[in-house]
A = this chain, B = another copy of it.
Amino acid sequence: MARLPEYLRALHNLAETGHDTVSSEGLASAAGVNSAKLRKDLSHLGSYGTRGVGYDVALLIEQIEYVLGLTQRRAVALVGVGNLGHALAGYAGFATRGFRIAALFDADPSRVGERINGLVVHHIDDLTQIAAAESIAIGVIATPAPAAQSVADQLVAAGVTSILNFAPCVLSVPEGVDVRKVDLAIELQILSFHEHRKASLTSLPATGPAGGLTALPGGLSATGTEEAVGT
């Protein structure tokens, strides 16, 4: 499940706060999900919770990290050292959560050789060689959209089988290669949609029958993230 990393983060927080065990209710609220859902998720990994007590925090962390394949620190290749790539190269969250940026790449010769956060920027043509040497299986694309497909092809050719794509475009990759996409502008546009919806709801308390399509009164469901819940 895509929720396991969220549980893992909450568990690490609990461990640092000195908790040895945690109930499904407690962990669920810390991770922002329903307690029943959490229990079902955890039961799917044959988890070891104790009835009447809860889950052993340390053991559960170990279990989830194993399932996520985080027992080994995974090497990641980052392609595109522009605005966003630069920030990702220095993002501390990767290092503290089981990943190691093993190499930086860019197609712009003027950027090759630049040092970022202790790493040298290589030319994209050296990708295959370095990826093999560092046994890199995960690639991050932080290039402009027009270059993304080409970079993806090169990553696949270099043996990368999982890609995190920040470029606003769809990638086509061979079967067996996993792609996850993060589009920062889209996240804002979804929020904008919510804003628009809220605005029309308040200004038009009762939508008259003559109202064409102000903002789809009861149509779109506005899913995608949890609705806010009061403290």
Contact = CB atoms under 8 A, between A and B. Distances in A.
Contacts of A213: 45-46, 67
Q: How large is the interface on A (under 10, 10 to 19, 20 to 34, 35 or more residues)?
A: 35 or more
A59 to B, nearest CB: 13
List the number of copies, as a whole number: 2
- The secondary-structure label for the interface of chain A is mixed
Interface stretch (A102-110, A125-133, A172-180): A172-180
Contact of A194 (B178, B184, B198, B219): B178
A164 to B, nearest CB: 5
A210 interface: no
A154 interface: no
Interface string A84-96: 1011101111101
A42 to B, nearest CB: 12
B199 A69 contact: yes
